Amino acid sequence: MTPTTPVASITGTGLWNAPEVITNEELVASFNEYARLQNEANAAAIARGEIAALTPSSVEFIEKASGIRRRYVIDRKGVLDPQRMRPYFAPRPNEEISLQAEICLSASRDALAMAGRDAADIDLLILACANMQRPYPAMAIEVQQALGTSGYAYDMNVACSSATFGIEQAANAIRAGTARAVLVVSPEITSAHLDWRDRDSHFIFGDVCTAVVVEDAARATAPGRFDILGTRLATRFSNNIRNNAGFLSRCEDIDRDAHDQLFVQEGRKVFKEVCPMVVEHIGGHLAQLGLTPQGVARYWLHQANLNMNQFIARKLLGSDPSLERAPVILDEYANTASAGSIIAFHRHRDGLADGDIGVICSFGAGYSVGCVVVRRVN
Ligand SMILES: CC(C)(COP(=O)(O)OP(=O)(O)OC[C@H]1O[C@@H](n2cnc3c(N)ncnc32)[C@H](O)[C@@H]1OP(=O)(O)O)[C@@H](O)C(=O)NCCC(=O)NCCS
């Protein structure tokens, strides 16, 4: 989408932080105890060479390889219990609001307040995230009811790119005249899809929810809003980030806790293949809009890996970016799937002059890349 005059504006953003924190030190201590217990239980098979002993994780590796220092989670007790290694969520009756719908509420209300809108002003709610709590009824419709938004609502999933793809759908609905104000909510309960027993990835994710209000630019009044100058999406199939859990799993007689029913990735391959794709995608999108990477005041990039973001920004700008120009939140939040670039945007949206250009860019499983180019209106 490349409008000559902006069709849609981002007028509000909101953020919900999960209530508990796990530091790398705590995470590694629990993983290493899990590994010790497993090795003790399997000592004979390990001695016979039938299975490999588990090797310990390390805080130094995690910080050097990813830049992640801590993460917010809904339940730390279950994750850190070496006998359990997954969060504990109490089942709820159907009459009670679902956990995933509940975490949407405060982020959404904060985004609406920033936009100066009531829930009833929203005529489309898109719930865009990497994992849905259930197939139906749509999570979005439950959130629509809980907030009191109007019109219609639907779920969509493009893994880590769900939020930026959702923003494009919001702008398209506004252009088509089917909505005037859209709420894009991304409740990411990544702690439930992460295999906390897997040394290669146990440090990667955290829980969060973000919300974005996108409005018809002609009706937008909120100060400090961002006109959307263009959106550009791309996908290319890859098995390098994959989760096989689905409604066929029970018919395939698969253990729901098996490794491949959770997040699995070839991290190094992802790094090598996705970085050039993102550089080309952002560069091409800016050129299409008559802009240059140097002309961008702020890059709110997907937050999976610090080295990845530095590589991408360096390729675009020709030098290392300042933290002000390419803000980092993954040290505090870890990878929060589709919410990462939106958290960066929400937390680092101030300090821009009227007319300054910014890029929100997500990338991840699919592969998928979503780029939203915005211009600050003070
Ligand atoms: C996951 C990631 C942090 C791993 O970093 P990496 O530098 O690629 O690390 P590798 O997997 O190549 O492993 C390097 C070494 O560290 C070891 N290692 C892996 N996990 C470890 C851990 N937790 N503690 C200590 N060592 C570990 C490996 O065994 C390997 O050892 P070896 O060299 O002796 O074989 C990194 O690849 C990444 O972030 N990739 C992109 C991920 C991404 O964006 N995904 C999108 C998801 S939405």
pLDDT in tens, 216-270: 999 999 999 999 999 999 999 999 999 999 999 999 999 989 999 999 999 999 9
Report how far residue 48's alpha carbon sits from residue 65's, in angstroms, rounded to the nearest whole number. Answer: 33
Residues 172 and 240 in one domain: no
Residues 242 and 187 in one domain: no
Q: Confidence class of residue 77 from pLDDT cuts 50, 70 and 90?
A: very high
For residue 359 and ligand 1, the question of a CB distance below 6 A is answered with no
Residues 188 and 260 in one domain: no
CB-based contact 337:206 (threshold 8 Å): no
Report how far residue 328's alpha carbon sits from residue 54's, in angstroms, rounded to the nearest whole number. Answer: 32
What CATH number has the domain bearing residue 327?
3.40.47.10
pLDDT exceeds 90 at position 173 = yes
Q: Count the neighbouring beta carbons within 10 Å of the beta carbon of residue 272.
A: 11
List residues with catalytic annotation: 160
At 204, list the tokens.
């990667």
Which residue's CA is the nearest one to ligand 1's atom 42?
A: 267
Mean of pLDDT values over 170-188: 98
Q: Ligand 1 centroid vs 341 CA: distance in angstroms? A: 22
For residue 152 and ligand 1, the question of a CB distance below 6 A is answered with no
1 falls within a domain: no
Please give the pLDDT value at position 4.
Answer: 63
pLDDT exceeds 90 at position 180 = yes
Q: How many independent structural domains does the chain possess?
A: 2
Q: Say what percent of the chain tops pLDDT 70.
A: 99
Q: Mean pLDDT score of the chain, rounded to an integer? A: 97
- Pocket probe for ligand 1: among 62, 195, 203, 271, the residue whose CB has the most ligand atoms within 8 Å is 271
3-state helix, strand and coil shares in percent for the chain, rounded to the nearest 5: 35, 25, 40
- Pocket probe for ligand 1: among 60, 194, 199, the residue whose CB has the most ligand atoms within 8 Å is 199
Domain boundary among 194, 216, 238: 216
Residues 140 and 235 in one domain: no
Domain that holds residue 290: 225-377
Q: Ligand 1 centroid vs 65 CA: distance in angstroms? A: 6
Residues 206 and 261 in one domain: no
Which residue's CA is the nearest one to ligand 1's atom 48?
A: 364
Residues 205 and 245 in one domain: no
Q: Confidence class of residue 5 from pLDDT cuts 50, 70 and 90?
A: confident
Which residue's CA is the nearest one to ligand 1's atom 5?
A: 65
Domain boundary among 185, 216, 247: 216
